[in-house]
Structure 1
Amino acid sequence: MPRSPSASLLLTRDRASLSQFARFCVVGTSGFVVSLVTFALLLERTGIDYRAADALAFLVAVANNFVWNRRWTFATARAGAVGQASRFLVVSVMATALSLAILTGLVAALHADAIAAQAAATIAVTPLSFMGNRRWAFAAGSRPRQRPHRKREPAGGD
């Protein structure tokens, strides 16, 4: 039985979305590595407090992730980088806060292993972070599209 054009479009969209999500996960993994290396270097080379090192490492990883998501995952290297970066930072902070809440709940309430809980929290938040970035931070034009207003000519009139 041949596929309808709409079914083909849906399958193509789903494959494209899965591919985009996979790229998002690769970028996120690279951000984790960048964060960990930055954190370790700051602790070893500067001797700053681990909380300050964590905050700086987070910002470096966010910058890394923004660049790669903008260029590769969402391919939106158009004008508006400052707005996209601002929205990306908002999504990243919200995802981190939600991940911390899940981590805290798993460890404090359920007495889960902290490393397993961290992994579970990250996995739980990743699809939400992806959607926030896809639909808001890197959305086409990043603003609701407005249709141009056209005057309608009266039917049959001069």
Structure 2
Amino acid sequence: MEKVFFKILKFGVVGFSGLLIDFGTTWLLKDRLKTNKYLANTVGFSLAVISNFLLNRSWTFQSHNIHWEGEFAKFVAISLIGLLLNTGFLYLLHQSKLKMPFYLAKLSATLIVFIWNFTANFIFTFV
């Protein structure tokens, strides 16, 4: 159980670095370059996925699997499901009657998707 706790902790640290990449890219594209907010969200999320895969593979899960392409494909599939969940929650929280501010809705969606991403990668990707 202790090993799982530290994996969650490491996954969270990696996720936070991805969050900085995601939010930084989203902000740059949405607020500075005036790109569509959902496109900006997708690009930020995608760059974070690549970074998170590399860091989680080497540090969090310490994978030595020589078939890294398969791990990457699984990680991307899980991340794409996470993107759908993230965008869906973002839309529901920001555009619905809740009218939550965009970045608060994005943070809330990201926290929900964190649970999905860790569990799926722990069980499916880095076994």
The TM-score bracket by the shorter chain reads 0.7 to 0.9
Distance 2:48 2:106 in 1: 17
Q: Give distance in 2, aligned partners of 1:115 and 1:36.
A: 9
* Cα distance in 2 between the residues matched to 1:54 and 1:121: 12
Q: Which has the higher helix share?
A: 2
1:89 to 71, 76, 84: 76
- Quick one: percent identity of the two aligned structures? 27
1:99 to 80, 86, 101: 86
Q: TM-score, normalised by structure 1?
A: 0.66
* 2:123 corresponds to 1:135: yes
Distance, in Å, in 2 between the alignment partners of 1:116 and 1:54 is: 13
Deviations 1:69-118 (A, max 9, x none): 00111111321100000000011111111111112112213222222222
Give the alignment of 1:18-57 within 5 angstroms: 18-38=5-25, 40=28, 50=35, 55-57=42-44
| Superposition TM-score, scaled by structure 2 size | 0.80
Counterpart in 1 of 2:66?
A: 79
- After superposition, the CA RMSD in angstroms is 2.4
Equivalent-residue separation in structure 2 for 1:103 and 1:54 (angstroms):
10
Q: Which structure's CA Rg is the greater one?
A: 1
In 1, Cα distance between the equivalents of 2:108 and 2:23? 18
Bigger RCO of structures 1 and 2 (CA < 8 A, at least 6 apart): 2
**Structure 1: gaps (5+ residues):** 1-12, 140-158
SS of 1:30's partner is helix
How far 1:119 sits from its partner (Å)?
1.5
What is the alpha-carbon distance in structure 1 between the residues aligned to residue 46 and residue 111 of structure 2? 20
How much does 1:125 deviate? 1.5
**What is the DSSP-based 3-state SS (H/G/I as helix, E as strand, rest coil) of the residue aligned with 1:79?**
coil
SS in 1 for 2:111: helix
Count of aligned residue pairs for this structure pair: 122
